[in-house]
Each structure stands twice: as C-alpha cells, then as structure tokens.
Structure 1
C-alpha cells in the first residue's frame, strides 16, 4: 500500500548542489542495501512512474522532475526503464493508492518507483517510494525538498539514493567534470555537471591554461597557466577564489592530487624534470622522484600510498608506480611504445592510460595496478586521450577527435556505450572527473 500522506517526516532541504547523505535511506538505516544488480549482471528492470500532482503548477514541476530522473538514470546505464502498465495503480480512497504488483510482474519489472509532487511552505517537495515488485516490499520512502529553481537537484537526489540502494555504490550524481576548452579563443578551464549540464567558466586568463585537477574534497583547483610566459602551477581555493602559485624557477606542470593537502607536480628548478609534492599555498613539501629523464603526470592510489606516473627514464615514455614511503619504483607498462596520461581508479585496482600506436591512432587502455589484465577500451576512432574515472569507478570521461574537433565523451569502465558528453563550441580536452563537491 502506498500511503500518500504517510511518508516519513524527515525532510531533506536541498541547497544548490548539496545532496542527501546515503545514510538517510530507509534500508541504509538498518545497515542494508538491496543488491539487485551485481557486477556483470544485466540492467535492472525498473518501472518509473511519473509523480502524481494536483494543479497546473505542480503538474509542470512533476513533468520536469520526471524528465530529470529519466535522463539521470539513463546516464548511469544501470536501468532498463519500462513504461508503467495502465493498471499499475489502483485508487482506494482519497488518501490511499494501491500498487498493482501483478501488473508489474507481468511486464517483467524488478523495481517500481513512484510518488507525488506538491508545494509546501513555498518549496517544491517530491515524495518518492520504491518497491520490490516480486514481494511488494517497500525499499525506500523519502521526501526531497528544494526551491522552484532546484528541480534538477531534487530529481538527482532521488536518483543518487536509488542507485546506492540498489547497487551498494555511490553514484555520479552531484559530481563535476573540469576540462579545457578554447571556445572563447583562449584555452580556459570550465566545469560542468557529470552529464554535461551547468557549464561554467572557471578561469579567464586570456592565455593558455591546461591540465585541471580538483582536490578530492573539491576545495582546490590545480592547473597549469602560461600567463607569465612559461608553464606555472596555480592552485585556486574555489570557495574564496584566492589563487597561489609555485614561485620556483623553471617549469611547473601537470598536477595530480594526493589527498586534499598535497598536489604533485613536475618542477625543473633543480635541473631535471622531477615530481614534487606541493602544499595548497604553493610551497614545496618534498621531492618524490629522482632519476634521469623526464617524470610527469602523477596520479595516486586512493589511499595515497602509491603514485603512478610517466617517465622517459628507459627511453620512450612508459608508466611506472612508486611507493611513496619506501621510494621503490616498478615499471607498470611494457606493451606499447609510448604510454602516457595515467589515471588511477577510485577502487584502487586499475589504471587507465593513453597509448600512441604505430598506426597513428591514440587509444585508451586499462591495466590492473599489478600489471595484469591489459584491456583496450577504444579503437578505430582516431585520437582518444586523457582518461579520467568517475567517482564511482563505473565510467570514464575522455577527449576524442573521432568526429573532427576534440570533444568530450564518456564510456563505461569496460569501454562500452561510448557517447558524446556535451555540446559546446570549440574544442574540449583534458577532462578531470571530480569527487562530489
């Protein structure tokens, strides 16, 4: 029974891009999640019913939120959304609606989600309830509230809860992608939502800015800036917009965060191009690499204990892994003569990287952190570069010129479902998929 007026009283107020904590889920409160989808399994068969609404204004909100939820769930590639059967709901009285589970089972649905939209205290409120179709068990019952201009955030908050409930994993909802674009005639850094919406320009150097990287806590943006006539590392506090830079001679390029308190970058002030750790205020903490040849493109394991990077110490660029505490270095890649742009997965078990192949193509590969199970993700699509993992480790964003100019694309971690991310003038490149902020 879906009691229209008996949703639990805890109401989440959404502010801008803040999302609900997953621990507010009904199932999560008891330490459970519904593992309907396991890795390698087929998509979850979901009947997603448009939220009920009374009145023209509320009906318009419901339609907008319904579209946001559909688009968001489609982006995750977790779900096969089935149209609701005509008899999916039976009105018992003014306060009660009965879900027809027999109708759901007849169309092969595993999960049903529905609810209503209404105005309360000048805010938009979305009440949603999720059922397991086979047994009719209520899996989630929750309210989401926000301003009238926050319909997208309201819909995505529900999507985030639904994905975590059914998969046991954090989702991409609320995450950001930073990247470089020359849409203004200069290479500047931009930010957008995980699905390409909400485009915002972050730098206005009217010069060249490259290699953006957000700190894990989303507080700092590190990037390379050529305003001074040479590449220099800049670190911007995104809350107060204050910017620091590394005041060392020579170059400072290609940042990669180690936690939220240190960023690794390549510096040349001591002669050779080596990787150093730098504090957010721009001061150097310590030197990490020490070898002949160029060392660039640092990326860290989730616990910060190991660093993958590119080095020419053996000739052409290859990817190496260094233990931060002991300093021990091991070569990771042996297949491919020119391997660059490593990106460590959030789960810590895989590293994606770029290979420049003999036929002129640039392709993206994934390898286990121990050097096993090499897998090619892109092929026959010209130049594919700069892979970056989604925060849940389920997708990879990258740049490609497969349709002419460089644009951003996303694909599953297995290389499937490759598609264009956003429609923006000019070229887009060097994407970095951030944690939630």
Structure 2
C-alpha cells in the first residue's frame, strides 16, 4: 500500500512538473485560438501593433530577404489593420534567432509590439525560400508558421503571400496583396493600358496601339480587360471611342462595341456575363448593357442629361452611375434593369466615377469641393452618409476597391506628376505605388482574386 501511494505521489509530482514546463516554455506548435480575430468594424477597432524583425539571410539570399521584408512591411502598413513598429525603435539584437529559443520577449513588448514576425531566407529549389513565424508576444507562443518560395524575380511576391496569410489569420478574410492592378500610363503622345502587381512592381504593357486607351475594367475571372480605345478614321480624325477587350493570356486586343458616337466606361457584371457602359447615339450619353460578347444591347437609363460611369453592386442586382438629371453630376443607384432609380449624393456639385465596394456597403467616388479640388469620398449606400478619404493633398481621382473591400487605389498628383496611390479604406494610411518615374498614371482598376 505504501509503495502504491508513493508511486501515485511521484506521478502527481511529475505531472505537475511537466505542466509547469509547458506553461513556462514557448510553444513550438501554432496556437489555433490564442490570438483573437481582429474586429475590424465598429468604433472599438484599433490597428494591431506588430513588429517585423530583420530577416536572417543564409548564403547569398540577403538581397531577396530585403525585398521580402520591404514588401511585407509595405503591405501591412497600407492595410490599415496593423501598426507596424518602426525598425529604428527595435531594442532586440538584430541577430536574435528566429526562435522561439533566444527571443528576448520583453525587448519586443517594451517597444509596444503585441505580435512579432520573424523569418529566415535560404536557397530553395527555384530561388529564395522564406520560413516565417508569427508569435504572440504576451503568450510567447507560435501563432502561425509558413514556408514559401519562388523565383528570385518573385521575391516581393513571397512577402505579399505571407501578408495575405497574416490577414487571413487575424481577420478570417482573404488578403489582397497578391492581386494585380490595371491602369493607364501616359508617355509621350500616347496612353496605354498596363498591369502590375498591386504595389506597382512588375509592371508590363497590355496595349501598344500608339493612340489613346483609357478606363480599364477587369473581367471577374481576371482573364480579360475591357477598355475604351479612341480609334481614328476619316469620319473620326480625333478618334472614335469604342469598347475593346484585351486577352491577358495571348495579348490580343479587339473591338466588341463600337456603336454611335461614344462607347466608354465598361463595367463587368459580377458573374462576367454582361457589361454595362456609356453609349451616345444622339448626343445624349445613356447607360446600356450588353452581353459580354457584345450582343444583346439594351438601354437602361431614359432621362435628359448625361448618364455615365456605371458600376455594378457585388450581388449584380443594382448599378451605381453618374447623372446630371437634376442639374449637377451626382451619384445614383438603380436596379440592373434600370428601375427604382435613387439619388445617393446631395453634397457637392460635381460627383463622378462611382466604384461599388465588393463588400456592398460603400460606394467610393470623386468629388470636386468648393476650392475646385478633386478628392476621394465614400458614401454609405444604406444611410447615405458621406465621408472624406483624401484632403489637402493635390488632385485625387478615380477610386478603385481592392477585391476584399479593405483598401482603395486612386490617382493623385500630390507629388507633381499623376501617379497611383493605395489607401486603407478609412484613408488613415496612404502610400504611393512603386511605379517607374517615366510617365503619368491614371484610371486604376483593381483586379479580382484569382487562383
């Protein structure tokens, strides 16, 4: 009996000791529920303070590691979801291991960080391979681990992919950092359609027609871009605005709508089956809808004045547009067949370029204020409350939503020449895209999520 009691007591002591060790030691397995999901709606939201430790590069991967670090930092900053602790504020040894052993947790908490990203870059089969770890500083636990690799030229894209994983981890929503954007580049005497990664890197031309191409619009599957092309002829020496499509797979472009005097401002329906656009046959621009192949033309606005710039709601049931039917250009919404027209904006006397958020709650638009300055605003579709996104930073125009509805892109001349800027949805964080300084950039269109 004494022996059995002794063994029982010994097992109890051992169990207590093991439990104590598990509590004291950082976990090597990702903690599935230790990090609460960020509540990113409502007045109580605050960006999560996060530190991105200097990367550890093995062999010749230092340059790739720096590019990954730069892209990851840019993404988290502009998302508006995170407050990235400045690198110059770090107290920890830059040679500190990826861990968890050897991490000086208090040095990270002392600079205000609540989460910590560490990563190591080694040589993979095709190029750099990055091993990422996300830690909760208070819990000293591993919350997320990921290993990503790619070609050397795609180092920044590795950073974007992990940024997407972080957004998914904290919000349960997809990140939009691995998407692409289309835009217009003006160089010399032409305007052409280009595409690039969301941050402006890896830019490449889509059109090279030597004329004027404007207003790109993505098909929902990301395979095509519709755009307005001014085709010159004897009848239209300055160009006849037509709707064209560019196939991003084979690089071919062709016209698909060219009726009347003006065809402009294409917008795909969410299922990709239809395209809304502006058509003028008698000097009065109206909104029309066609099938994606250009057939089945149907007029859906019938009013005096200008009706232009259609933008579909994410459920495909309504369309936002601009109309000056009451005297000045304002934002309206209507059913997809043209019924139940409703005016949304009553502030300002020149509102244009509506863009319906993929979340369905907001419409971003360009408005001219009392100083004859263009800025970006959003209007709540339900309450009609208007909020300003840009102010006192030059001319800002043509907003486009990220496919998750958490960021905006627009053109701005705040740096002198027109370029593209990306902003958190509330406008609190705004950053310039990394486009080459050899032209002007306008008309951004944010591409969809693709596999």
- TM tier, smaller: 0.7 to 0.9
Distance 1:199 1:177 in 2: 9
CA 1:110/1:257 → structure 2, altered by over 3 Å: closer, same or farther? same
Supply the RMSD in Å over aligned alpha carbons: 3.0
Which residue of structure 2 lines up, in the alignment, with residue 375 of structure 1?
387
Which residue of structure 2 lines up, in the alignment, with residue 153 of structure 1?
157
Name which of 259, 262, 284 aligns with 1:251: 262
Distance 2:129 2:417 in 1: 42
1:21-36 to 2 correspondence within 5 Å? 34-36=36-38
- Determine whether 1:294 maps to 2:295: no
8 Å Cα contact 2:68-2:157 kept in structure 1:
no
Give 1:382 deviation, angstroms: 4.6
Which residue of structure 2 lines up, in the alignment, with residue 19 of structure 1?
none
- Determine whether 1:72 maps to 2:85: no
Give 1:98 deviation, angstroms: 4.6
Give 1:87 deviation, angstroms: 5.8
Unaligned runs of 5+ in 2: 1-24, 233-238
Q: Deviation per CA, 1:365-412: give whole Å up to 9, x if none.
A: 211113522122333445322122222323322223344443323333
CA 1:269/1:147 → structure 2, altered by over 3 Å: closer, same or farther? same
Unaligned runs of 5+ in 1: 8-25
8 Å Cα contact 1:235-1:282 kept in structure 2:
no
8 Å Cα contact 1:180-1:211 kept in structure 2:
yes
Q: Deviation per CA, 1:322-363: give whole Å up to 9, x if none.
A: 012572111111222222111111211111112233432223
SS of residue in 1 equivalent to 2:167: helix
CA 1:280/1:403 → structure 2, altered by over 3 Å: closer, same or farther? same
Which residue of structure 2 lines up, in the alignment, with residue 16 of structure 1?
none
- Determine whether 1:323 maps to 2:335: yes
Which residue of structure 1 lines up, in the alignment, with residue 240 of structure 2?
230
- Determine whether 1:197 maps to 2:201: yes
Distance 2:64 2:417 in 1: 37
8 Å Cα contact 2:216-2:226 kept in structure 1:
yes
Name which of 118, 135, 158 aligns with 1:131: 135
Distance 2:240 2:100 in 1: 68
8 Å Cα contact 1:212-1:223 kept in structure 2:
yes
Q: Which has the larger radius of gyration?
A: 2
SS of residue in 1 equivalent to 2:421: strand
SS of residue in 1 equivalent to 2:231: coil
Give 1:279 deviation, angstroms: 2.8
Give 1:318 deviation, angstroms: 1.7
Which residue of structure 1 lines up, in the alignment, with residue 324 of structure 2?
312
8 Å Cα contact 1:411-1:418 kept in structure 2:
yes
What's the TM-score once normalised by structure 2's chain length?
A: 0.81
Distance 2:369 2:133 in 1: 51
1:10-29 to 2 correspondence within 5 Å? none
Q: Deviation per CA, 1:292-311: give whole Å up to 9, x if none.
A: 33211001111111100012
Give 1:146 deviation, angstroms: 1.5
How many residue pairs get aligned? The number is: 412
8 Å Cα contact 2:376-2:397 kept in structure 1:
yes
Which is further off, 166-175 or 302-311? 166-175
CA 1:402/1:127 → structure 2, altered by over 3 Å: closer, same or farther? closer
- Determine whether 1:264 maps to 2:276: yes
SS of residue in 1 equivalent to 2:190: coil
CA 1:386/1:145 → structure 2, altered by over 3 Å: closer, same or farther? same
Name which of 287, 291, 310 aligns with 1:279: 291
8 Å Cα contact 2:78-2:430 kept in structure 1:
no
Distance 1:63 1:401 in 2: 29
